[in-house]
């Protein structure tokens, strides 16, 4: 790449940083004040894009029409944000962190289907910005005027936000709440409207970022998830709650991406690397490196320590003898199903069993372990691809592939877990998400090995297992055994130690527990069982696609666990059954089934903040069995 091309590419990166900064700043503000990770922030950005395109078509593409449309679109998204806060999020602040997240993920589904209904599935190209449609010549190359405008615009927004936060009373309240929410509350800051205001401002920024990007890229449905992933990375790299940090991180990541695209292919030691294909991975690598070196982000600071006793986790109930008999009876009943019914019922039950194992393995680390993984599908997917590759590339017999595949999941968890257990809370969640995204990117882009976006086909079980009922029995036996094993471990000294480390890492270390080593081992163990689930899934379907380990699959797992109840034992299997059945039924019968699932999740979160099984336990618990 010549020097002038490199320079242009750098300018290009600066222009891209603008929208990213706007979204990330909004996300960061919202997190700082309300401690909510707004998964739906990318969806708000997407709404901004669609609204701007529609408004420009109405108001005309002149200078006035264009800019009025951009501002109106942003304002509309801001109002939508306020409505979301008042109607939904306000009711979730008292719920556990993860339930809040679930609520915002439900919003992603609902907003996504709303956009699909309103604007259709096709990408919509926006007009050029009036007066800035041309190009200027820089170093003998053409560069769009609009991009130059954006380069100047980002710092202006930063300045405006800085003035808002430091020179106004409202801004002072926002900063106070970000630094120390308890103290701000004690000083009489009215949470309610401050939260609504901050959410509206954050949504406005997201909508603005989307609307102003219209001349550069088309409005599309896929933008919601790609933007939220990018914004997560920017916010975490910059430091949660830090606006200048978000600016710096947006610049850093946009520049690194731009350079990767600019360099294209490079040859190192005779091997051709396609750097442009690395763009998906590179930002998550940056994030992983930053989190390991500076766990609070580039400009972030450690959160104010919580005062008083730490958040108390509820006790993990010990199942009664009767409950164990009931579970055994359930397995026996499931074993009778093939004699009564075949075909579709067995396919669905096989899926439910596999996802029950997946959910239980996630619950193992997220509930009793306290490690809130947002990327558990990585290990499920590694197990699936491990099984497929062993069968297709190494020509191993299916039985051997099934036996070895879980170790692929465990190996991935061993590697990623080493980094993850060094962090906690939101940072751990983000790092697990980053690693899952890295795993996905590698699978997606390594065509030669994994088949890229097409995935692998022809992953069928051995002949003796090829009948539907035979494979169902294999799945039933394996998943029941796996779940029983994981549950047994929860009540072993290892499982107790895991809960101990979650309750008080300080106390755990002071009685000789090596907390990191323990959590690392648990992470790896959970990865092994997730991998087992993935391998069973691969042979059940006969094919594997990258979706097997994509972020939505990880979120599915969390939804199952949280629906069932994080602090229950059997909750995850009910959550898995309910969710898998619901998704399957809706996908076959309803047009906008994502939105319906979103609405169901939302209703459940608002009605049962402790999860369905948690609710049932509270409702029917007898008094006095607290020992």
| Structural tokens at position 85 | 């806060």
Shorter beta-carbon distance to another protein: residue 130 or 314: 314
CB of 556 to another protein, least distance (A): 27
Give the range of 73-81, 261-269, 372-380, 503-511 binding another protein by CB under 8 A: 503-511
CA nearest to 607, candidates 574, 563, 558? 563
To another protein, the closest distance from the beta carbon of 71 in angstroms equals 45
Closest distance to another protein from the beta carbon of 531 (Å): 18
* Strand partners of residue 274: 265
CA distance 618 to 625: 12
> Using an 8 Å Cβ cutoff, are 231 and 209 in contact?
no
Nearest-angstrom CA–CA distance, 278 and 273? 9
Structure tokens at 382: 């590694």
Buried b (16+ CB within 10 A) or exposed e, 256-273: bbbbbebbeeeeeeeeee
Q: In angstroms, rounded to a whole number, what is the distance separating the alpha carbons of residues 463 and 604? A: 43
Query: Does 569 help bind another protein (rule: CB under 8 A)?
Result: no
- Which position among 496, 590, 603, 621 is part of the footprint of another protein (CB under 8 A)? 496
Compute the distance between CA of residue 238 and CA of residue 254 in angstroms, rounded to an integer. Answer: 13
Q: Report which of 152, 165, 155 is spatially closest to residue 247, judged by C-alpha positions.
A: 155
Q: Does 500 bind another protein (CB under 8 A)?
A: yes
Q: In this structure, are residues 526 and 379 in contact, taking their beta carbons and an 8 Å threshold? A: yes
Helix (H) or strand (E) holding 564, with range, is helix 551-564
Q: Which is nearer to another protein, 295 or 314 (CB)?
A: 314
> Counting every residue, how long is the chain?
627
413 binds another protein, rule: CB under 8 A: no
- Select the span of 215-223, 391-399, 506-514, 557-565 touching another protein (CB under 8 A): 506-514
Distance CA 108, CA 232 (A): 15
| Per-residue mark of binding to another protein, 310-339 (x: CB under 8 A) | x-xxxxx-x---------------------
Q: Which stretch binds another protein (CB under 8 A): 322-330, 357-365, 430-438, 500-508?
A: 500-508
By beta-carbon proximity to another protein, the closer residue of 120 and 425 is 425
- Rule CB under 8 A: which of 511-530 touch another protein? 511-515, 518
| Min separation Cβ 239 and another protein, Å | 19
Query: Other C-beta atoms within 10 Å of 414: how many?
Result: 17
Residue 566 interacts with another protein (CB under 8 A): yes or no: no
Nearest to 154 by CA among 258, 266, 13: 13
Taking the least distance from each CB to another protein, the nearer of 23 and 423 is 423
The residue from 78, 238, 495, 598 that contacts another protein (CB under 8 A) is 495
* Closer CB to another protein, 5 or 485, in the complex: 485
Pick from 544, 528, 548, 545: which is nearest to 381 by CA? 548
389 within 8 A of 456, measured Cβ to Cβ: yes
**Can you point out the beta strands (E) in 149-191?**
none
How many residues belong to the site for another protein (CB under 8 A)? 35
Q: How big is the chain by its Cα radius of gyration, in Å?
A: 25
Stretch that binds another protein, among 64-72, 432-440, 501-509, 548-556 (CB under 8 A): 501-509
Segment contacting another protein (CB under 8 A): 21-29, 292-300, 469-477, 494-502?
Answer: 494-502
Q: Are 387 and 571 in contact (CB under 8 A)?
A: no
CB of 520 to another protein, least distance (A): 13
* 3-class DSSP assignment, residue 429: helix
Could you say which of 187, 326, 506, 587 contacts another protein (CB under 8 A)? 506
**Counting contacts by CB under 8 A, is residue 503 touching another protein?**
yes
Q: Least distance (Å) from another protein to the CB of residue 513?
A: 6
Q: Which is nearer to another protein, 261 or 316 (CB)?
A: 316
Minimum distance, C-beta of residue 177 to another protein, in the bound complex (Å): 25
| SS3 state at 142 | strand
- Interface with another protein includes 305 (CB under 8 A)? no
CB closer to another protein out of 312 and 333: 312
| Closest CB 567 distance from another protein, rounded Å | 8
Judged by CB under 8 A, which of 332, 448, 620, 626 binds another protein? 626
Is 348 a binder of another protein (CB under 8 A)?
no
**Does 499 interact with another protein (rule: CB under 8 A)?**
yes
Residue 525 Cβ vs another protein, minimum distance, rounded to whole Å: 9
CA atoms lying within 13 Å on the CB side of residue 241: 22
Which pair of tokens denotes residue 9?
A: 């590419």
Judged by beta carbon, residue 364 or residue 539, the one nearer another protein is 364
How many angstroms separate the CA atoms of 252 and 17, rounded?
A: 8
Given 137, 510, 619, 620, the residue binding another protein (CB under 8 A): 510
Q: Give me 247's structure tokens.
A: 């600016």
Residue 250 C-beta: closest distance to another protein, Å: 30
* Nearest Cα residue to 245 out of 261, 264, 231, 225: 231
Question: Which residue do the tokens 């019914």 mark?
Answer: 341
Query: Which one of residues 75, 164, 285, 489 is an interface residue with another protein (CB under 8 A)?
Result: 489
Residue 492 in contact with another protein, rule: CB under 8 A: yes
Q: Considering only the stretches 143-151, 219-227, 447-455, 502-510, report the one whose residues sit in contact with another protein under the rule CB under 8 A.
A: 502-510
For residue 39, the SS3 value is coil
Residue 497 as a binder of another protein (CB under 8 A): the answer is: yes
Annotate each residue in 438-477 with x if it binds another protein (CB under 8 A) or - if it does not, as one string: ----------------------------------------
Long-range contacts of 321-329 (CB under 8 A, 24+ apart): 323/570, 327/570
Q: Which residues sit at the interface with another protein, rule CB under 8 A?
A: 309-310, 312-316, 318, 488-489, 491-497, 499-500, 502-504, 506-515, 518, 626-627
């Amino acid at each position: 790449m010549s020097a002038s091309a490199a320079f242009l590419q750098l300018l290009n990166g600066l222009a891209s940083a603008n929208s990213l900064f706007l979204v990330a700043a909004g996300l960061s503000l919202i997190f700082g004040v309300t401690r909510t990770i707004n998964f739906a922030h990318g969806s708000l950005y997407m709404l901004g894009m669609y609204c701007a395109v529609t408004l420009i078509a109405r108001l005309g593409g002149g200078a006035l029409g264009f800019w009025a449309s951009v501002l109106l679109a942003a304002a509309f998204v801001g109002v939508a944000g306020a409505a979301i806060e008042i109607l939904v999020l306000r009711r979730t602040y008292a719920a556990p962190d993860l339930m809040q997240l679930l609520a915002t993920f439900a919003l992603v589904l609902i907003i996504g289907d709303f956009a699909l209904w309103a604007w259709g599935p096709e990408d919509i190209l926006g007009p050029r910005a009036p007066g800035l449609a041309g190009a200027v010549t820089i170093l003998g190359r053409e560069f769009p005027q609009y991009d130059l405008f954006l380069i100047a615009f980002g710092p202006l927004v930063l300045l405006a936000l800085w003035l808002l936060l430091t020179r106004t009373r409202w801004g002072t309240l926002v900063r106070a709440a970000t630094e120390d929410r308890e103290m701000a509350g004690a000083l009489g800051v009215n949470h309610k409207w401050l939260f609504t205001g901050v959410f509206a401002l954050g949504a406005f920024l997201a909508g603005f970022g989307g609307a102003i990007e219209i001349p550069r890229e088309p409005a599309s449905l896929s933008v919601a998830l790609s933007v939220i992933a990018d914004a997560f990375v920017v916010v975490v790299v910059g430091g949660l709650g830090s606006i200048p940090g978000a600016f710096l991180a947006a610049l850093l990541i946009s520049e690194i991406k731009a350079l990767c695209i600019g360099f294209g292919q490079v040859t190192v030691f005779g091997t051709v690397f396609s750097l442009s294909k690395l763009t998906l991975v590179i930002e998550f690598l940056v994030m992983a490196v930053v989190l390991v070196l500076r766990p609070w982000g580039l400009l972030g600071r450690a959160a104010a320590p919580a005062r008083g006793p730490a958040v108390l986790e509820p006790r993990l109930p010990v199942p009664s003898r009767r409950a164990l008999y009931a579970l055994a009876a359930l397995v026996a009943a499931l074993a009778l199903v093939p004699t009564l019914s075949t075909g579709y019922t067995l396919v669905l039950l096989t899926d439910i069993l596999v996802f029950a194992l997946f959910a239980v393995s996630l619950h193992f680390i997220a509930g009793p372990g306290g490690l809130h993984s947002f990327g558990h599908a990585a290990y499920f997917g590694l197990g699936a691809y491990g099984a497929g590759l062993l069968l297709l590339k190494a020509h191993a017999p299916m039985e051997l592939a099934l036996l070895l595949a879980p170790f692929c999941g465990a190996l991935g968890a061993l590697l990623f877990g080493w980094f993850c257990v060094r962090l906690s809370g939101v940072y751990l969640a983000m790092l697990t998400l980053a690693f899952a995204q890295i795993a996905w990117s590698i699978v997606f882009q390594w065509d030669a090995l994994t088949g890229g976006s097409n995935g692998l086909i022809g992953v069928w079980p051995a002949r003796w297992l090829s009948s539907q009922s035979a494979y169902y029995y294999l799945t039933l036996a394996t998943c029941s055994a796996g779940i029983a094993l994981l549950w047994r471990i929860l009540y072993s000294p290892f499982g107790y130690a895991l809960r101990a480390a979650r309750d008080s890492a300080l106390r755990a270390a002071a009685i000789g527990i090596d907390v990191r080593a323990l959590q690392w081992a648990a992470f790896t163990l959970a990865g092994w069982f997730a991998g087992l689930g993935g391998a069973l899934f691969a042979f059940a379907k006969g094919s594997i696609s990258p979706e097997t380990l994509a972020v939505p699959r990880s979120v599915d797992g969390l939804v199952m666990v949280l629906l069932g109840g994080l602090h229950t034992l059997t909750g995850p299997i009910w959550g898995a059954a309910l969710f898998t059945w619901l998704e399957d039924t809706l996908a076959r019968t309803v047009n906008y089934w994502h939105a319906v699932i979103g609405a169901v999740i939302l209703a459940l979160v608002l009605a049962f903040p402790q999860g369905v099984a948690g609710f049932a336990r509270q409702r029917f618990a007898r008094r006095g069995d607290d020992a």
